Amino acid sequence: MRLNEINVLQLLKNGLIEAANGKGLKLTEKAFGSKRWKNSEKRVFYLIDKRDNLFDIPKSKTKLGTGVDAIRSSAAMIFNLLGEEDIVFNEKRYSGIEYEKPFPAIMDEQDDTHYAHLDAVFYSSDNTEMYAVEAKLLEWKDSPKNLAKAYLKKDKYFSANKHSQVFIEYFKSLIHQEQDKKGRFKHKAKRYDAIQMTIHTLALYNYFSQETASPVKKLTLQNVVWKYDCDKYAKEENEAHTFIQDANERFTPLFKQLGIDFSIQYSTFQDFKKHIDFSSAPTRFAYLKRYEV
């Protein structure tokens, strides 16, 4: 049974497992890390059958990331929004949608390549324009992750990256010198994951520094964030706009040297959806009502 009649996010917010069971949906609670997170907004509900959390099942063996069977899964949210067919976004057709696409970010302490995975990537019909999407459903309610120390070491950057010091200095501006038990540096942001977005920017820069024959001339790193009206979200959004303005000023010139018009953009899930033409996919559009609160 699909969830199209359920307001899943309200279900998550209030912890109404009984409401789901009453509609025949099979839900379970799983450990979140090493804790149960009872009576918490971090509580995670999983569907026994992940197909109940997806509008359709990927035709290929596409990986949608871990936890796609969780109600709060951002990977499921963006797949439900975009699917695998061509989409018309801002009255322009895009194709070649890929999920969890890896881009080389840094060399780790063992000198193995660490990849940053973008939730979704799609291209214009002539392949000259590319969108790389980082989606957030309720992650913004949690604290952003800390920064691995490799990102502050120049010898861990790829040789094709001629501007590693620019990224290192920018990472330094995002962190406190205090380290956690794993040696990672603690972030300054309260809500917005500026570190992750900078890592995605770095990974995309590394990729296009190596792929010099790529036809892509315009690249947008698009942050798509589900929201509802609350004070905590307002704080996240304010941090996001401050970061994006600063990051665009810092990194757009680097991509320009590669012949690419680069920008980071921020949009709510609700607004991003308005720019997609669902005239040929009315059933999918109706399914997305599950994300309305």
Query: Nearest-CA neighbor of 218 among 261, 266, 248, 265?
Result: 261
Hunting for tokens 């907004």 — which residue is that? 41
Q: What is the model's pLDDT at position 50? A: 76
Please tell me the distance from the alpha carbon of residue 2 to that of residue 76, in angstroms, as a whole number: 13
Please tell me the distance from the alpha carbon of residue 195 to that of residue 235, in angstroms, as a whole number: 16
Mean per-residue pLDDT of the chain: 84
Q: Which tokens hold the place of 163?
A: 């501007």
Alpha helices of the chain — where are they, by DSSP H? 8-14, 17-22, 74-82, 164-173, 194-210, 231-256, 269-274, 282-287
Please tell me the distance from the alpha carbon of residue 27 to that of residue 71, in angstroms, as a whole number: 9
Instruction: Output the tens digit of pLDDT for each of the chain's 293 residues.
Output: 444 444 555 555 554 455 555 566 666 655 444 344 444 445 566 777 777 788 888 876 567 877 788 878 899 999 999 999 999 999 999 999 999 999 999 998 788 899 999 999 999 999 999 999 999 987 877 778 899 999 999 999 998 788 999 999 999 999 998 888 888 999 998 889 999 999 999 999 999 999 989 999 999 999 999 887 666 677 888 999 999 999 999 999 999 999 999 999 999 999 999 999 999 999 999 888 888 76
C-beta of residue 124 within 8 angstroms of C-beta of residue 93: yes
Q: What is the model's pLDDT at position 3? A: 44
Q: What is the model's pLDDT at position 26? A: 67
Q: What is the model's pLDDT at position 161? A: 84
β-bridge mates for residue 114, sequence order: 106
183: left (phi over 0), alpha (psi -120 to 50) or beta: left
Q: Which residues contact 165 (CB under 8 A, 6 or more apart)?
A: 154
Q: Which residues contact 80 (CB under 8 A, 6 or more apart)?
A: 54, 55, 284, 287, 288, 291
> Amino acid identity of 52?
D
- Give the distance from CA 243 to its chain's centroid: 16
DSSP state of 154: G
Please tell me the distance from the alpha carbon of residue 23 to that of residue 1, in angstroms, as a whole number: 9
Please tell me the distance from the alpha carbon of residue 130 to that of residue 124, in angstroms, as a whole number: 6
Please tell me the distance from the alpha carbon of residue 145 to that of residue 161, in angstroms, as a whole number: 24
Q: Let me know if 40 is exposed, middle or buried by CB neighbors in 10 A (0-12, 13-18, 19+).
A: exposed
Please tell me the distance from the alpha carbon of residue 244 to that of residue 144, in angstroms, as a whole number: 16
* E strand or H helix at 280: none
Query: Nearest-CA neighbor of 139 among 68, 203, 211, 192?
Result: 192
